Structure 1
Amino acid sequence: MATRLAFLRAINLGAKRVFPKADILRVVTSVGFEDVATHINTGNVRFDTRMRSRPRIEATLEQAFASDRGFDVPTVTFSATEFADLAAEAQQINADHPGLARHYVYLLKEPLAVEQCAAVEATRTEHGRMLVRDRAAHALLTPGYQNGTVDPLGAARLLGVATNRNLNVIQTLAAKWC
């Protein structure tokens, strides 16, 4: 059995995309995954599975979520080892950029092509910059960026299927589940 972490995109936003933790647990368990746990109500899930194929795991979850909810729930998964490495790299990136106001990590379904990485990293402004590392894109925001802005650097549209978490959540989940 391998431990996987899943990150659900665009749930619990408004009245139409509601997906409570108890329902997430039920649906993930119903497709045969074991030892399922969630962290806060923003779509962070840990489970064990015998499946090895990331695309197959994601497709299984997405089909089950759509069937249960009646709307698509894009899902990005990592092995526990991959996520622990991602979290360690995020911590190092944060340490290499002191004075940040915020550090968000976009978790990507697929790695970006070289030209996509260049386009994402070119979104740099006086409010911050983006760094792409494999299936993670780091939004490094400086003091003065407009807090509450969903995509202050205008890079999210370039990332494909992705969902973001702040550095604190990334670190908490790595410590708790990896």
Structure 2
Amino acid sequence: MGGVADYVAFLRAINLGKNRKFPMAEVKACLAAGGFSDVETYIASGNVRVGSSMRSPGNVAAELERLFEADRGFAVPTVVMTPRELRQVYDDAVGLEPPFGAAEVRRYVTLAKEPVPADAAAEIHALEAEGEVARVVGRAVHLWIRAGYQNARLNNARLERAVGVATTRDLKVITTLAERWGS
């Protein structure tokens, strides 16, 4: 088996406030030095496309995390998907029936490192509050939130307690990434 496969990585909890800084130019340099090819980034929240001869998103995630910690001195949990998986997350998002009017709500997608088990999905639904709805599909938790995300019950910290390592993106970001990097 040869050749290079593409992967999309979502870095968790970088460039928030004055701690955990990891400028995208330095992410690119770190990954290029670590043997990844065709490295691209999109906005400072940690969205990265890489080429690799590895054939498993799990192996790619482990290597990215190893490189990031060696470079930064702190752990950078990373969710990795194939371009096809990213496209499926986007397709699922646009295909889901909105629970209330689209003009009244912000859409987010929480991406889990592993598939979300049924008991975790039930735990997530128990967190729903007025103006907050979640739908679990595969490794994604699709969120509709009327008020600001920062004050939502369905926030990344609570969702991680249910699903393990996860990171949240606005649906607008997922849409752009699916257009750029999804197959």
What TM-score comes out, normalization by structure 2 length? Answer: 0.89
- Is 1:69–2:61 an aligned residue pair? no
Q: Is the contact between residue 33 and residue 49 of structure 1 (CA under 8 Å) also seen in structure 2?
A: yes
Q: Which residue of 2 aligns with 1:130?
A: 134
Deviation string, structure 1 residues 39-88 (Cα, Å, up to 9, x no partner): 01110000111101222111100010001001000000000011111111
Q: Which residue of 2 aligns with 1:141?
A: 145
Q: Which residue of 2 aligns with 1:166?
A: 170
Ranges of 4+ aligned residues in structure 1 off by more than 6 Å = none
Aligned ranges 1:79-158 → 2 under 5 Å: 79-93=82-96, 98-99=101-102, 100-142=104-146, 145=147, 147-149=148-150, 151-153=152-154, 155-156=158-159, 157-158=161-162
What is the deviation of 1:152?
3.1
- Is 1:32–2:25 an aligned residue pair? no
Q: Which residue of 2 aligns with 1:18?
A: 21
The letter for the 2-side match of 1:117 is A
RMSD: 1.7
What is the deviation of 1:112?
1.9
Q: Report sequence identity in percent.
A: 39
**What is the distance in 2 between the residues matched to 1:55 and 1:45?**
15
Aligned residue pairs, count: 175
SS of 2:67 mapped into structure 1? helix
- Is 1:8–2:22 an aligned residue pair? no
**What is the distance in 2 between the residues matched to 1:11 and 1:126?**
30
The letter for the 2-side match of 1:66 is E
Which ranges of structure 1 fall in alignment gaps of 5 or more residues?
none
What TM-score comes out, normalization by structure 1 length? Answer: 0.91
Which ranges of structure 2 fall in alignment gaps of 5 or more residues?
none
